[in-house]
Amino acid sequence: MDQPVAKMGTLPEVEKFKANPREIKNQVLKRFLKRKVSIVGGIIIIIFVITAIFGPLFAPYDPLQQDLANNFQGASAEHWLGTDNLGRDTLSRLIYGARISLEISMASVGLALIVGLVLGVTAGYYGGKIETLIMRFVDILLAFPGILLAIVIVAVLGNGLVNTMMAVAIFSVPDFARIIRASVISLKEMEYIEACKAAGASNLRIILRHIIPNSLSPVIVQTTLMMGTAILTASGLSFIGLGVQPPNPEWGAMLSKARELLRSAPLAAIAPGTAITLVVLSFSLVGDGLRDALDPKLKN
């Protein structure tokens, strides 16, 4: 007599074996809070975001307002961080510059994440000639150093805020695509993915409900790190005159103009340089903390 064959579980039965999301979040938060430097970095990022959003409401002066009679002023009660070569208040320009830096980082990294996610998931899940074609394109972009590729893109597209965002986004795509592809390749061989296929789930359903959600840990870490890299790259482009153009108060452009004032008005250069350093370092510290928190292997 034939032995009874076990029936393959239906898709809802396959999907019910999921870890408790609340428990996972608590464990991740607990591991993250153990890293004090990451907490400090997070506090600085929160201050940076609040300044970018609400700072212009309490900025003491218009960042474009010129006062040539009071240029090269040092720190005073009227101008806490002094003035630049055109008499513009350095603190006000620093506050408004935070908004521009936040716009560049969020827009460019968000665009790079979307494009990299599509390329990485498509290449990793379907493989074959599609993967070869996508990854060769990614390798071409990786052949150029990041800042050099951004310079080339801006040189082709032209200067300006939008083109700076596009340049930073394009050079960030390969990192996202490679990380996501690696995660997808390892995930698609898992038993629960095979069970979903056997239960009749479509490729789109598997990708949206299982592949992408379980690939988010390295993506979150990379996104955090790229936020700082985007700010640094945009500031570098503006510093050499290829990014956001004056008189817009972008930190890199401010630093470029202030390098001529190091003797007469050092605060004009120290303030934007310190802001760039603190924000980029903070994103790096938070990214390291998230990497440790999201990877159970590193919890000890």
The answer to whether residue 256 is domain-embedded is yes
The answer to whether residue 7 is domain-embedded is no
Give the separation between CA 148 and CA 16, rounded to whole angstroms.
48
Question: How many domains is the chain built from?
Answer: 1
Is the per-residue pLDDT at 276 higher than 70?
yes
pLDDT band of residue 213 (cuts 50, 70, 90) is confident
**Which of 107-111, 123-127, 142-146, 249-253 has the least mean pLDDT?**
142-146
pLDDT, tens digit, for every residue of 90-114? 899 999 999 999 999 999 999 999 9
Is the per-residue pLDDT at 295 higher than 80?
no
Mean pLDDT of 37-54: 94
CATH code, 270: 1.10.3720.10
The answer to whether residue 172 is domain-embedded is yes
Q: What is the mean pLDDT of the chain?
A: 85
Specify the pLDDT at position 17: 42
Kindly report the pTM of this predicted structure: 0.85
The answer to whether residue 116 is domain-embedded is yes
The answer to whether residue 234 is domain-embedded is yes
The answer to whether residue 21 is domain-embedded is no
Is the per-residue pLDDT at 170 higher than 50?
yes
The answer to whether residue 13 is domain-embedded is no
Host domain of residue 123: 34-54+89-294
As a whole-number percent, the residues of the chain with pLDDT over 90 amount to 42
The answer to whether residue 124 is domain-embedded is yes
Specify the pLDDT at position 297: 58
Residue 296 Cα to chain centre, angstroms:
23
Specify the pLDDT at position 21: 66
